[in-house]
Amino acid sequence: MDNTTTNGRHIFLNDSDNNTVLDLEGVRFGSLLQEFTGSYLEIPADKDTSTSAEFTEFHILHSGSVYRVGDILSVMICAKDMRNREKSRGGDFFRAKIYTEGTKSSAPGRVRDFGNGTYGGTFLLLWEGDVTVSVRMVHSSSAVRVLKRVAESFPFNRSRYQRKYISGEKSSIGWCSLNANDLQSPEGGGICDFSDSYAGVQWYCQRPRNASCDATMFHRHAGYLKEHTDLGLTEEEMRYFKFTTNGKGLLAIKAEIQGKNSTIQVVENASGVVDEEQLPRCRPGLPAPVPSGYYRNGRWVSRVCAATNLSPLEYKQCLQNKVIDFLGDSTTLQWFDFLTELLNMQSIQDPYGPNKRSCEVEWNITSRWQTHGPPYKTYSWKNTSEWNNLARVLDSNPGGPNNVVQ
């Protein structure tokens, strides 16, 4: 096996501790499925032939070799089923990483599916010392088969949303969807079209009896479709997943795979050159290597460009008189919250509005987070009057040297 090739269909898997739930977005399914060369329809549906994380194992190839920083480490993963038999088909979803516990160092690896029940894992060795390989089965191929079927059968409506119409002291609630055909017109009501042709977004909600589409409205996420009754999962299929603590959702298995001699010793390379010292200055458009970075001594080290580590005071000096707009989903919200905490900014939020704002008075720094339009996942009611599709928000931004958009 060529340990350094990038041909075939390698998939780079990062090491995230976020639970993978059944309502994954379609784009994430695409990333998950692109690794498999066969047909999921050919995978048997019974539990005995499903891949077992307990019996599946991996081993390091050439484990007696001397490894240096910059070398490629290769492992072989051999999948087995619930009866401890070797698998003859691929399709399982693995994640792999190398780490050193003592120095809080970690880097993700590549996993390649050979389609015959064996998988190859490759890692770029980026630091010296004792390095341990960890392989985790996120989903068996049987579980991926279920996920694929659900994604194709319910491409966008696995979540449920509601709209509350308020007129005076009276309120009423209707269901919402991206597709008007998913909604039944309530007795005495109809369907409100809240689509935005400018942004290319469709959104429809039931109009309860005696409610107006122009009334004051609030929006919320009202849970997911049920696995048994709505999504059509069988008892057998549900065994391929873990249950959430409240028993109302399914999670990825994310089970550790046992490995033989999973720790190696890595020494410095002959030249002593440190990769990060040779990196270009950060600028847009730089190509991203694999992996794009890693943790060393608890600090993120970029392999894309030479990032500068600033103190909170230096951040404030750099951002003085700036207005920073974070636009998007919960990921951009995390960046907004991080900056607010880092600069000790005062946070301002309407409890009924989805957007946030924070200020640093002394240095005249303003940070704003604005969510995308519906559907928006929040279990509390949010006032829809504050919503604008991000295409409109971007087009209305005045720009200039003191406006920053993330």
Tell me, what CATH number does 70's domain have? 2.60.40.10
Q: Sign of the C-alpha dihedral, residues 226, 228, 232, 233? A: positive
Strands 323-328 and 365-371: parallel
Regarding whether 33 and 142 lie in a shared domain, the answer is: yes
Regarding whether 123 and 17 lie in a shared domain, the answer is: yes
Regarding whether 23 and 110 lie in a shared domain, the answer is: yes
- Which residue's structure tokens are 């974070």? 326
Strands 263-267 and 67-68: parallel
Regarding whether 143 and 77 lie in a shared domain, the answer is: yes
Regarding whether 248 and 112 lie in a shared domain, the answer is: yes
Give me the half-sphere count of Cα atoms (radius 13 Å) on the Cβ side of residue 329. 5
| 64 domain residue, yes or no | yes
pLDDT, tens digit only, all 406 positions of the chain: 333 332 222 222 223 333 333 333 333 333 433 344 455 555 555 667 899 999 999 999 987 788 999 999 999 999 999 999 999 989 999 999 999 999 999 999 999 999 999 999 999 999 999 999 999 999 999 999 898 888 888 877 788 999 999 988 889 999 999 988 888 888 778 999 999 998 888 999 999 988 899 888 899 999 888 888 888 888 888 889 887 766 567 789 999 999 988 999 999 887 654 444 588 988 889 998 889 999 999 888 999 998 888 888 999 999 999 999 999 988 999 999 999 999 999 988 777 778 899 999 999 999 999 988 888 888 889 888 878 889 988 998 888 999 999 8
What separation, in Å, do the N-terminal and C-terminal C-alpha atoms of the chain show? 42
Regarding whether 250 and 365 lie in a shared domain, the answer is: no
Distance in angstroms (rounded) separating the CA atoms of residues 404 and 406: 7
The parent domain of residue 397 ranges over 312-405
DSSP code at position 275: G
pLDDT at residue 247, rounded to an integer: 58
* C-beta separation of 80 from 270 below 8 A: no
* C-beta separation of 62 from 72 below 8 A: no
pLDDT at residue 25, rounded to an integer: 32
Residues in a beta bridge with 267: 68
Distance in angstroms (rounded) separating the CA atoms of residues 136 and 119: 12
Strands 72-78 and 118-124: antiparallel
